[in-house]
């Protein structure tokens, strides 16, 4: 007897809805066991992780703040991945976007520059991210250099460029020589949405990006092209789609979105350019993209959900003294379950008699 | 000891963990599976390797613990990607998160402890030979193992039938399946092998390099190992060259600073990354339009139909 | 059995203590924000040691919470505010990068007391604290100058912030008092925390002739390399003698505990005020680990130097301080450099064979 996977004739809509619930249920069971072993009350812990952050306007807003860059970056990445283009350097594009946009904030700091500063910063941030993404894209198109390596390596380079700038030329002259730019002026700051709380206009921008991506993927030729090139490259060539141009296009869009997320983050919640502006958003967004099944609305939900686990994990550290490492284990297990359950949308598991020993499939 | 000799010895030590982890990943990717969880498996290897060595006092047992930890994590990955046809990129990244968290929990009890580092080979006459003696005959076991591993992988991939089958599986799992080869079983073995290598590469850090454990001590080496596999165009020989090149640029930039060359340290620190990109572009360019050499089935899920 | 009895005794004491301090609900909740993991053996670890000292001293009058691995970017403001919202009345933020976020949260929660380490912005409810680590570096320089046979010191530096630069300067100024021709080689590793890279840097320095290694990075990796090479090294942040019993000359120990206790007591009795604390050897915020592995005369010299700094008769940055170009830098503090010049130091003194990155 053996368990095997079998492809469904068509994707199961019922399971598509049920799978996240199943995954959460499995996570709850697993973590309950783990919490019990570690001597923490599982019910309280799960409440703190999942429910408590949703009961309070502060944490709700913070979830949105945390999800904003994740969703924005992940939308761009999903276009790449749908087209089978492997941009894993969004972290670097995020940083370069922050750097390029901050340039304006730094040079206009303390002057009476008008309200044009912020829009210009956003444009420069998007351009900076897109240009940084063009390096691996061009290396791939021109020389056939693998984009996984080049985009990843450029993350480290981007980080060091920022490091150089904030410790050198862009350092706040009044900042006692510490590595940070001066605090951005109000005209260079993304305004908050409400009087209290940190939720800012960037969150709305992220929603707009989700909407645009939905329209583009569903209703435009470009969206069709992306999906065809990714799913059936040969057919795409037949249809006259230029895969090289698509590499440049998807890299440019994802770079621009990552860059935009970067400058919004710096000009919004952070307010200065300094080392460590990204706690790995560019990498976490890769998970968000897949967790959201490369679908814009899915990504929005996935981004909010992952943000919830971050905020909940912090609450667990405070109220239950649960170590941060356990939160990471929790996130890892949760991701595994979600991914595993999602696979049931396309496949069914069947118990069959061993055909010839256990050579096909693993039990 | 001359400066050049000393630099070469440092380069070898700095390259060894990268080489170990990358060699394993190369086999995994040759079988058509992309496991991006190397960093997670390495840090688990480091935590468990240290735990093993600390509890038993033996580097060898520590190394075995490291290998076992890497295998265990990779088994989780295999269950998901091979058993349940989950997207490999996502599963690999999730594996890293899990590995970092677990290693922190396991390693918390060992922070601040120290162990005796792995012994170095000493041969009465040979180790004493000027210049080459220490480089060739004065290393620790990990270094010799890493070199042997690369040679063995080369031999396996190109000189054995099993290696041929593995490559066939990576290049076209449908054809291999049609020919009756157990695609998933072969990939499972490859993933476990890769996990073991990554675990060993991670274990090298606390067992030989810096004999103590600190959470996060792999400091991104898993990502570099992944990049090196791509850099190598999936060729074992070039993998070794890439690992030593990366190690060499890393060490040389430190020496350049100690000489007081006055170049911004950020530029120097960025050099290894830039150098890898530039060399890759040059290689790709020289190859011209020959196209990608990546295993054709890399990263694509396979579900046998019956 | 003995352990059990101790526990029982402690429990009994705790019960008695509770009796005096009204009731458990009125415990002062104190929060800490850490940059690294508590087990980093370096900066964060020593703050954690300080927190534990605080718990030991004030027992059940307080309740402490920490958040570890809080990045200095967008997350920190939320993390600090989370502590503020969950009833923490005194919050220590233990890294420079938390300065602006701490200030923002402090303005929002005027009744909560904030203490920010190593920064310079303050508010009525936000004080700062830091250690004069350069005093320890100066003593290390004196020892290194005496102990180096080749006259070459190796310095592993993390990031070019003023504290690191003033540390390098204090080291060479100390060393020059015993060996005017001393050389100092600096390697910037651009990380606080990568044991492998720290070891690589230590090897490179040793290979280039440095026979005393010192570091401004967190792990004991450099100490172990020095031990293998049979040369000397200084620990960092904590006493690292365990990692180099025959190697460590001394170590600067970040001793935050007394300050945390002082601030918590002040918060408990209502006397807390936002201050600007910059303590050194005299106040014991900076401690020197035992002077080991050195001849008696060097040890005596080190002790004498330490005593002079404690007594205030010796200042590491006593004017004139010569810049790298040999010209005296402006002396704003009368006899010595002004605290602002030290806290914001961005120049090398004469004799450092390096260029400050980004300058």
The secondary structure of residue C235, as a DSSP letter, is E
- DSSP code per residue over C252-270: EEE--HHHHHHHHHHHHHT
Residue C84 has pLDDT above 80, yes or no: yes
Q: Is there a contact between A258 and A282 (Cβ–Cβ < 8 Å)?
A: yes
Evaluate whether residue A211 is within a structural domain.
yes
pLDDT band at C12 (very low <50, low <70, confident <90, very high): very low
Q: Quote the CA–CA distance of A166 and B131 in Å, as a whole number.
A: 43
Q: Quote the CA–CA distance of B201 and B142 in Å, as a whole number.
A: 9
- pLDDT at position C72 is 87
Q: Quote the CA–CA distance of A144 and A140 in Å, as a whole number.
A: 4
- DSSP code per residue over chain B: --HHHHHHHHHHHHHHHHHHHHHHHHHHHHTT---TTHHHHHHHHHHHHHHHHHHHS-HHHHHHHHHHHHHHHHHHHHIIIIIS---HHHHHHHHHHHHHHHHHHHHGGGTT-B-PPPPBP--TTGGGSTTHHHHHHS-BHHHHHHHHHHHHHHHHHHHSHHHHHHHHHHH-HHHHHHTT--HHHHHHHHHHHHHHHHHHHHHHIIIIISSB--TTTTTTHHHHHHHHHHHTTT-HHHHHHHHHHHHHHHHHHHHHHHTT----HHHHHHHHHHHHHHHHHHHHHHHGGG---S-TTTT-------
CA distance C96 to chain A (A): 8
The ipTM is 0.90
Interchain contact, C354 vs B217, CB within 8 Å: no
Interchain contact, B210 vs C195, CB within 8 Å: yes
Domain that holds residue B93: 3-219
pLDDT band at C23 (very low <50, low <70, confident <90, very high): very low
Q: Which of C103, C134, C99 is nearest to C119 (CA)?
A: C99
Interchain contact, C187 vs B258, CB within 8 Å: yes
Evaluate whether residue A76 is within a structural domain.
yes
Contact list, B215 vs chain C (CB under 8 Å): 37, 39-40
CA distance A182 to chain C (A): 11
Shared fold status for C19-131 and C134-253+289-343 = yes
Q: Which of B266, B297, B299 should we substitute to test contact with A (largest number of A Cβ atoms within 10 Å)?
A: B266
Interchain contact, C219 vs B264, CB within 8 Å: no
Interchain contact, C160 vs A318, CB within 8 Å: no
Residue C136 has pLDDT above 80, yes or no: yes
Evaluate whether residue B212 is within a structural domain.
yes
| A333: exposed, middle or buried (Cβ count in 10 Å: 0-12, 13-18, 19+) | buried
Evaluate whether residue B229 is within a structural domain.
no
Topology at the third CATH level for domain C19-131: Rossmann fold (3.40.50)
Evaluate whether residue B253 is within a structural domain.
no
- DSSP code per residue over B39-81: HHHHHHHHHHHHHHHHHHS-HHHHHHHHHHHHHHHHHHHHIII
Q: Which of C198, A147, A156, A136 is nearest to B272 (CA)?
A: A156
Q: Which of A202, B262, B50 is nearest to C356 (CA)?
A: B262
- pLDDT at position C359 is 63
The average confidence (pLDDT) of chain C is 90
Q: Quote the CA–CA distance of C69 and C33 in Å, as a whole number.
A: 8
**C27-60 pLDDT tens trace:** 999 999 999 888 888 899 999 999 999 999 998 8
Q: Quote the CA–CA distance of C226 and C215 in Å, as a whole number.
A: 11
Angle at C74 (CA atoms; ends C72, C76), nearest 5 degrees: 50
Domain that holds residue A271: 69-296
State the average pLDDT over residues A320-340. 87
Q: How many CB atoms lie within 10 A of CB A277?
A: 26
Domain range summary for chain C, segments of one domain joined by +: 19-131, 134-253+289-343
Evaluate whether residue B243 is within a structural domain.
no
Q: Which of C103, C121, C358 should we substitute to test contact with A (largest number of A Cβ atoms within 10 Å)?
A: C358
Contact list, C358 vs chain A (CB under 8 Å): 164-165, 167-169, 171
Residue C24 has pLDDT above 60, yes or no: no
The average confidence (pLDDT) of chain A is 89
Topology at the third CATH level for domain C134-253+289-343: Rossmann fold (3.40.50)
Contact list, C77 vs chain A (CB under 8 Å): 198, 269
pLDDT band at C7 (very low <50, low <70, confident <90, very high): very low
Residue C9 has pLDDT above 60, yes or no: no
Evaluate whether residue B244 is within a structural domain.
no
Count of structural domains within chain B = 1
Chain C interface includes A197 (CB < 8 A): no
Phi then psi for residue A320, to 5 deg, are: -120, 0
To the nearest 10 degrees (0 to 180), the angle between helices B3-30 and B221-231 is 70
| B92: exposed, middle or buried (Cβ count in 10 Å: 0-12, 13-18, 19+) | buried
State the average pLDDT over residues A90-112. 95
What is residue C187's three-state secondary structure? strand
Count of structural domains within chain A = 1
Q: Quote the CA–CA distance of C126 and C105 in Å, as a whole number.
A: 10
Q: Which of C81, C84, C95 is nearest to C40 (CA)?
A: C95
Interchain contact, B219 vs C195, CB within 8 Å: yes
**B23-78 pLDDT tens trace:** 999 999 999 999 999 999 999 999 999 999 999 999 999 999 999 999 999 999 99
Evaluate whether residue A85 is within a structural domain.
yes
Evaluate whether residue B275 is within a structural domain.
no
Touching C: which chains, 3+ CB pairs < 8 A? A, B
At C216, which helix (H) or strand (E)? none
Contact list, C220 vs chain B (CB under 8 Å): 114, 210, 212
Which parts of chain B have pLDDT scores under 70?
1, 288-292, 306
Q: Which of C39, C73, C157 should we substitute to test contact with A (largest number of A Cβ atoms within 10 Å)?
A: C73
Q: Quote the CA–CA distance of B59 and B29 in Å, as a whole number.
A: 29
Interchain contact, C205 vs B258, CB within 8 Å: yes
Which neighbouring-strand residues pair with C127?
C115
| B290: exposed, middle or buried (Cβ count in 10 Å: 0-12, 13-18, 19+) | exposed
How far is the CA of C19 from the CAs of A97, C13, C264, C322, in angstroms?
Answer: 58, 10, 20, 60
- pLDDT at position B222 is 94
CA distance A79 to chain C (A): 26
State the average pLDDT over residues A287-305. 92
Evaluate whether residue A58 is within a structural domain.
no
Q: Which of B18, B115, B210 should we substitute to test contact with C (largest number of C Cβ atoms within 10 Å)?
A: B210
> b/e for A80-111, b at 16 or more Cβ within 10 A?
bbbbbbbbbbbbbbbbbbbbbbbbbbbebbee
Evaluate whether residue A45 is within a structural domain.
no
Q: Quote the CA–CA distance of A205 and A201 in Å, as a whole number.
A: 6
Non-local CB neighbours of A230 within 8 Å, separated by 6+ positions: A81, A82, A83, A84
């Amino acid at each position: 007897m053996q368990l095997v996977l079998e492809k469904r004739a068509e994707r199961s809509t019922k399971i598509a809805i049920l799978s996240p619930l199943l995954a959460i249920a499995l996570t709850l069971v697993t973590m309950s066991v783990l919490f019990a072993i570690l001597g923490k009350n599982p019910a309280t812990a799960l409440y703190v992780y999942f429910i408590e952050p949703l009961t309070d306007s502060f944490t709700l807003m913070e979830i949105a703040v945390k999800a904003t860059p994740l969703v924005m970056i992940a939308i761009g990445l999903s276009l790449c991945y749908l087209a089978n283009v492997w941009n894993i350097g969004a972290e670097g594009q995020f940083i370069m976007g922050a750097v390029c946009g901050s340039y304006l904030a730094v040079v206009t700091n303390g002057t009476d520059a008008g309200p044009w500063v912020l829009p210009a910063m956003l444009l420069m941030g998007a351009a900076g991210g897109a240009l940084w993404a063009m390096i691996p894209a061009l290396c791939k198109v021109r020389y056939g250099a693998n984009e996984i390596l080049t985009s990843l390596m450029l993350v480290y380079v981007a980080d060091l460029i920022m490091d150089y700038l904030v410790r050198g030329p862009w350092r706040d002259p009044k900042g006692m020589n510490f590595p940070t730019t001066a605090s951005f002026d109000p005209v260079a700051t993304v305004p908050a949405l409400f009087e209290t709380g940190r939720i800012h206009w960037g969150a709305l921008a992220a929603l707009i990006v989700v909407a645009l991506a939905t329209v583009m993927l569903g209703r435009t030729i470009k969206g069709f092209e992306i999906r065809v090139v990714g799913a059936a490259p040969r057919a795409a060539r037949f249809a006259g789609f230029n895969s090289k141009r698509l590499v440049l296009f998807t890299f440019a869009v994802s770079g621009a979105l990552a860059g935009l997320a970067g400058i919004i983050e710096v000009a919004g919640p952070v307010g200065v350019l300094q080392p460590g502006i990204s706690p790995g958003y560019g990498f976490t967004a890769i998970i968000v993209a897949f967790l959201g099944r490369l679908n814009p609305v899915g990504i929005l939900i996935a981004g909010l959900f992952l943000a919830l686990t971050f905020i909940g994990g912090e609450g667990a550290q405070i109220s239950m003294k649960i170590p941060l490492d356990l939160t990471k284990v929790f996130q890892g297990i949760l991701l595994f379950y979600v991914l595993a359950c999602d696979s049931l949308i396309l496949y069914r598991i069947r118990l069959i008699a061993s055909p010839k020993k256990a050579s096909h499939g693993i039990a | 000891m001359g400066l050049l000799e000393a630099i070469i010895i440092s380069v070898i030590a700095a390259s060894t963990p990268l080489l170990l982890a990358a060699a394993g990943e190369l086999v995994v990717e040759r079988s058509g599976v992309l496991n991006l969880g190397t960093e997670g498996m390495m840090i688990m290897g480091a935590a468990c390797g240290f735990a093993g060595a600390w509890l038993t006092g033996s580097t060898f047992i520590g190394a075995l613990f490291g290998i076992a930890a890497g295998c265990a994590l990779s088994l989780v990955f295999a269950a998901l990607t091979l058993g349940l046809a989950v997207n490999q990129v996502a599963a690999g990244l999730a594996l890293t998160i899990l590995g970092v968290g677990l290693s922190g929990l396991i390693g918390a009890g060992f922070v601040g402890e120290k162990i005796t580092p792995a012994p170095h080979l000493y041969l009465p006459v040979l180790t004493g030979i000027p210049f080459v003696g220490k480089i060739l005959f004065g290393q620790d076991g990990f270094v010799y193992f890493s070199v042997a591993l690369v040679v063995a992988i080369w031999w396996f991939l190109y000189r054995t039938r099993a290696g041929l089958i593995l490559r066939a599986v990576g290049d076209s799992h449908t054809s291999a399946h049609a020919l009756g080869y157990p695609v998933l079983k072969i990939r499972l073995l490859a993933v476990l092998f890769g996990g073991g290598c990554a675990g060993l590469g991670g274990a090298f850090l606390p067992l030989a390099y810096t004999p103590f454990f600190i959470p996060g001590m792999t400091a991104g080496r898993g990502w570099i190992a992944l990049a090196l596999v791509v850099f190598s165009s999936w060729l074992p020989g070039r993998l070794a060259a890439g690992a030593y090149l990366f190690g060499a640029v890393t060490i040389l930039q430190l020496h350049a600073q100690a000489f007081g060359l006055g170049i911004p340290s950020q530029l120097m620190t960025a050099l290894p990354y830039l150098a890898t990109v530039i060399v890759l572009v040059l290689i790709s360019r020289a190859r011209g339009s020959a196209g990608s050499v990546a295993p054709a089935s890399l990263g694509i899920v396979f579900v046998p139909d019956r | 059995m003995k352990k059990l009895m101790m526990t029982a005794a402690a429990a009994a004491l705790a019960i008695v203590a509770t009796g005096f301090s009204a009731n458990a609900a009125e415990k002062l909740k104190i929060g800490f924000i850490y940059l690294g993991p508590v087990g980093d053996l370096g900066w964060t670890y020593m703050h954690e040691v300080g927190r534990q000292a605080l718990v030991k001293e004030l027992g059940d009058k307080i309740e402490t919470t920490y958040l570890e691995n809080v990045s200095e970017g967008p997350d920190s403001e939320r993390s600090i505010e989370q502590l503020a919202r969950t009833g923490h009345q005194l919050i220590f933020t233990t890294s420079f990068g938390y300065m602006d976020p701490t200030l923002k949260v402090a303005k929002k929660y005027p009744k909560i007391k904030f203490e920010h380490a190593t920064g310079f912005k303050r508010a009525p409810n936000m004080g700062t604290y830091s250690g004069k680590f350069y005093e320890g570096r100066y003593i290390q320089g004196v020892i290194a100058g005496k102990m180096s046979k080749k006259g070459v010191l190796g310095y592993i530096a993390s990031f070019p912030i003023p504290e690191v630069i003033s540390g390098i300067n204090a080291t060479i100024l100390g060393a020059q008092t015993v060996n005017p021709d001393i050389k100092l080689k600096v390697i910037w590793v651009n990380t606080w925390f990568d044991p492998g890279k720290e070891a690589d840097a230590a090897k490179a320095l040793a290979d280039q002739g440095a026979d005393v290694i010192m570091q401004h990075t967190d792990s004991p990796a450099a100490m172990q390399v020095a031990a293998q090479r049979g040369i000397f090294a200084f620990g960092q942040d904590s006493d690292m003698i365990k990692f180099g019993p025959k190697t460590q000359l001394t170590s600067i120990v970040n001793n935050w505990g007394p300050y945390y206790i002082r601030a918590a007591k002040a918060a408990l009795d209502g006397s807390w005020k936002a201050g600007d604390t910059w303590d050194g050897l005299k106040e014991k915020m900076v401690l020197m680990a035992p002077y080991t592995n050195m001849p008696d005369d060097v040890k005596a010299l080190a002790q004498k130097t330490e005593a002079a700094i404690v007594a205030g008769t010796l200042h590491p940055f006593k004017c004139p301080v010569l810049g790298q170009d040999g010209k005296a830098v402006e002396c704003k503090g009368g006899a010595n450099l002004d605290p602002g010049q030290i806290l914001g130091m961005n120049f090398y003194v004469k004799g450092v064979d390096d260029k400050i990155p980004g300058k």
